[in-house]
Amino acid sequence: MTKDEEHTEKWKITRCLSGYPWNRLKWFNYEDLVRLMYRPTDPSSLGVIRFLFGFLMLTDLPEERAGAFIDLRWGNPRDCHFPLFPFMTNPGYSVISLVYLALCISSCGIMLGYKFKSSAIIFAMSYWYLFLLDKSFWNNHSYLFGIVSILLVGSSANHYFSVDAMLDPSIRNADVPYWNYFILKYQFFLLYFLAGLKKMDFEWLEGYSMVNLGTHWVFSPFRIVLTSDQIDYLIVHWFGFLLDLTVGFWMLIEYTRPVAMVFCASFHLMNSRLFSIGMFPYVCLATMPLFCEENWPKKIISFFARRESIPDEKRRNSKSENKRFKPKLKHKLVVAWLLCHCGLQGFLPYSHFITKGYNNWTDGLYGYSWDMMVHSWNTVHVVIKLVDNVTGKEQFIDNDAYTVTDRWNKHADMCVQYAQCLKRNLENANNTEANQLEGSSSKFPNVSIYIDVWCSMNKRFQQRMFDPTYDLLKANWSPFRPVEWLMPILSEYNDFRRTMNEITEHVYSWSNKSDVLFIADFPGLHLENFIDDNLENITLTVLEGEVVFEIEDHDSFQSLGIKLGKGESVPVDTGVFHKVHVISETPSCYMYTFSRKESEEQPDNPVVAKGAMHSPFPLVENFGERGNRIVAMWKHIRNGIFDILFGIPYEI
């Protein structure tokens, strides 16, 4: 190989990471880095990705952004919301409808590349306003969409395949700075890589995070050689971990990119069938070309047009590099901002040692952590108790009251916000509602609010998450201090999960109606439970520790207590309350075994059953329902306009 050939090969290898021969950066020089970031680059890939992103955001608005349900989410002024900042409040149905109008218009502007800068700014501001207004709807990908919208604001994504380019010849097909690609590529590389790092967790690698996915039709080819449990463990957990951790690197390298993109595309398509996660898989599919050469759309066009691709990018880039671009202060500041963004995005998923108030059994709010699917939750019991401190009268509140989401009850900060919302509703109610507690001493009673949340994380015992004796209206909460009423997860019983699996399989073998529920509780506390008549053959069995089973004797009007140790059981009657007190010095574990009277078929896959898509054709399933949601969203927008402009209120 000649020296020229060696140089060419070296240039190709180094260029596959950024399109720039890194061997020219012999020592770190900030001006050289600025020159790299401002290297003229073909705009065609960025233009196509801009179009696809705008289209998918427009599609996303009536669905995961809930534009079709503005009345349900924002229409009732008494509903509780969970803003990140306390000063943010629900502005009302009409104002929110106009926010959705701004999102619709601006996403169309992004898609078409018309008034692109203004459209991107309006979309980003409107999107982040809705995002910050209620964190109970946060998802990792919701955060990602907002970040991408901000990054597009500073880009020149309208230089190709846009109305702006048609109207302005000066930007038509004009080069864009390489940083336009770099920052988006970096953001999506982090999406994969950090998701892989987060999966380097015992819970994920041991197969406890996701269950019952192996029965889904997308894994049918694997079931020829693997069982459903093996698919869950090997394909879902281990292959998912390895793919997330490495696929970003493989797509950066020119020689491995084609195979990596096949695996990555298959991964996203499978996720779109397995989970109801909106446009996230499609946005990932649409942005995969970021890792390809920037002029790939022109190459495709030239292939079908049977003519050479113009202009010759290599010749143009070589010529541009030889011009010795001299960075100005503006260019240096832009690159400094890019570096700050890169550092911030790498730091935020691990910043939970600062924002301790948002931590519970897992670290951080579910938004920017990238711990996608690492933690699965199963909540079976939520009790909200309101106590009149004057009379001692207790009242239990439906945990679905004043809210359309149930995610709040597993986050301490949102539990506090919910309690404050309940208190406000009580204070603002009319005299009849305000005195719904018998014996209330005033219109604004002196009350306390307690919450008792029972849930299981990653197939553990059901256990309480918060101290049920802690008054949330007096909560000493801060974003920077640990939650003082959070109960620790009973990690000492982690190894019991294998035994629980064996017991579950044994109980399921009794009949197709038999089931089991595993519970663990702390010393000195008790579970008060009521079992309805739909169940039969109910037995409580102690697995570890000691408990007292207490039930009221209706004949003597006294409570009868039965002490139970490890391995002992007691039958449980339906239609009456009973209590299970933990009297051992360590947490106790017990289980309920029972049968269902009703012959309702239970879904084989409860994870998939919650709205997952079963059609093999992405974006085509429930096409009629999607159309109805679009119509519903525009009706809400029309109602908001009529209310604000003409004073015609909409009756919720």
Terminus-to-terminus CA distance in the chain, angstroms? Answer: 76
pLDDT of residue 391: 87
Token representation of residue 306: 């049977």
**DSSP for residue 514:** E
Phi, psi angles (nearest 5°) of residue 573: -80, 155
Q: How far is CA 620 from CA 54, 69, 142, 624, 650, in A?
A: 18, 21, 22, 9, 32
- Per the CB < 8 A criterion, the answer to whether 520 and 543 are in contact is no
pLDDT bracket for residue 439 (50, 70, 90) = very low
- In this structure, the number of other CB atoms found within 10 A of the CB of residue 616 comes to 11
Phi, psi angles (nearest 5°) of residue 455: -150, 165
pLDDT bracket for residue 255 (50, 70, 90) = very high
Task: Identify the residue with better confidence: 66 or 601.
Answer: 66
Q: How far apart are CA 502 and CA 500, in angstroms?
A: 5
pLDDT bracket for residue 295 (50, 70, 90) = very high
Average pLDDT score, the chain = 87
- Residues 554-600 have pLDDT tens digits of 555 566 789 999 999 999 998 888 999 999 999 999 999 999 886 54
Entry pTM = 0.89
Q: What is the DSSP string of 589-601?
A: EEEEEEEESS-PP
The residue among 325, 445, 270 whose CA lies nearest residue 39 is 325
The bridge status of strand 558-564 relative to strand 547-553 is antiparallel
Token representation of residue 242: 């390895």
Q: How far apart are CA 551 and CA 546, in angstroms?
A: 17
Q: How far apart are CA 37 and CA 620, in angstroms?
A: 39
User: CB-based burial of residue 529 (10 Å sphere; 0-12 exposed, 13-18 middle, 19+ buried)?
Assistant: middle
- Per the CB < 8 A criterion, the answer to whether 397 and 437 are in contact is no
Among the ranges 269-273, 434-438, 515-519, which has the highest mean pLDDT value?
515-519
The residue among 45, 587, 594, 553 whose CA lies nearest residue 288 is 45
Query: Mean pLDDT lowest for which of 62-76, 91-105, 204-218, 541-555?
Result: 541-555
49 pLDDT higher than 50: yes
Active site includes 199?
yes
pLDDT bracket for residue 13 (50, 70, 90) = very low
List alpha helices for 429-495, DSSP H: 431-434
pLDDT bracket for residue 80 (50, 70, 90) = very high
pLDDT of residue 311: 52
Percent of residues, the chain, with pLDDT higher than 70: 85
Q: How far apart are CA 285 and CA 283, in angstroms?
A: 5
Q: What is the DSSP string of 376-439?
A: -EEEEEEEEEEEETTT--EEEEPTTTT-S-SGGGG-HHHHHHHHHHHHHHHHHS-HHHHT-STT
pLDDT bracket for residue 94 (50, 70, 90) = very high
Q: How far is CA 481 from CA 161, 369, 475, 476, 489, in A?
A: 50, 19, 12, 9, 18
Task: Identify the residue with better confidence: 602 or 146.
Answer: 146
Q: How far apart are CA 401 and CA 80, in angstroms?
A: 9
pLDDT of residue 392: 87
The residue among 520, 526, 535, 525 whose CA lies nearest residue 572 is 535
Instruction: Establish how many alpha carbons lie within 13 A of residue 606's alpha carbon, considering only the half-sphere containing its beta carbon.
Output: 7
Displacement of CA 422 from its chain's centroid (Å): 26
Mean pLDDT of 464-491: 95
Q: How far apart are CA 228 and CA 220, in angstroms?
A: 10
Q: How far apart are CA 432 and CA 3, in angstroms?
A: 91
Residue in 199, 298, 423, 459 annotated catalytic? 199
Q: Which residues pair with 535 in a beta bridge?
A: 596
pLDDT of residue 7: 47
pLDDT of residue 315: 43
Q: How far apart are CA 525 and CA 587, in angstroms?
A: 10
Q: Which residues pair with 540 in a beta bridge?
A: 570, 592
Among the ranges 225-229, 404-408, 441-445, which has the highest mean pLDDT value?
225-229
Q: How far apart are CA 261 and CA 188, in angstroms?
A: 13
Q: How far apart are CA 113 and CA 119, in angstroms?
A: 8
- Per the CB < 8 A criterion, the answer to whether 543 and 584 are in contact is no
Percent of residues, the chain, with pLDDT higher than 90: 69
28 pLDDT higher than 80: no
Q: How far apart are CA 301 and CA 309, in angstroms?
A: 8
Mean pLDDT of 72-86: 93
pLDDT bracket for residue 440 (50, 70, 90) = very low
Burial letters 7-35, b for 16+ CB under 10 A, else e: eeeebeebbbebbbbeeeeeeeeeeebbb
Task: Identify the residue with better confidence: 616 or 514.
Answer: 514
- Per the CB < 8 A criterion, the answer to whether 592 and 527 are in contact is no
pLDDT bracket for residue 132 (50, 70, 90) = very high
The C-alpha R_g of the chain, in whole angstroms, comes to 29
Displacement of CA 118 from its chain's centroid (Å): 28
Q: Which residues pair with 176 in a beta bridge?
A: 41
Mean pLDDT of 14-38: 68
Token representation of residue 621: 């399933």
Q: How far apart are CA 112 and CA 170, in angstroms?
A: 18
Outline where DSSP puts E strands in 176-232: 176-177
Residue 615 DSSP SS3: coil
Q: What is the DSSP string of 569-613?
A: EEE--SSSEEEEEE-SSS-EEEEEEEEESS-PPPPS-HHHHTT--
The bridge status of strand 558-564 relative to strand 569-571 is unpaired
Among the ranges 28-42, 173-187, 357-371, 548-562, which has the highest mean pLDDT value?
173-187
Query: Mean pLDDT lowest for which of 2-6, 190-194, 625-629?
Result: 2-6
Sheet containing strand 514-521, strands side by side: 514-521, 588-596, 535-544, 569-571
Mean pLDDT of 64-70: 93
pLDDT of residue 10: 45
Identity (one letter) of the amino acid at 148? V
- Residues 363-415 have pLDDT tens digits of 887 677 888 889 999 999 899 999 988 888 899 998 888 998 888 999 999 99
**48 Cβ partners below 8 Å, 6+ apart?**
160, 161, 289, 297
pLDDT bracket for residue 186 (50, 70, 90) = very high
**Structural domains present in the chain:** 376-476 (no CATH), 496-601 (2.60.120.10)
pLDDT bracket for residue 14 (50, 70, 90) = very low
The residue among 371, 194, 188 whose CA lies nearest residue 284 is 188
Q: How far apart are CA 208 and CA 238, in angstroms?
A: 12
Q: How far apart are CA 518 and CA 460, in angstroms?
A: 8
The residue among 447, 538, 533, 463 whose CA lies nearest residue 496 is 463
pLDDT of residue 17: 47
**DSSP for residue 23:** G
**DSSP for residue 351:** -
24 pLDDT higher than 80: no
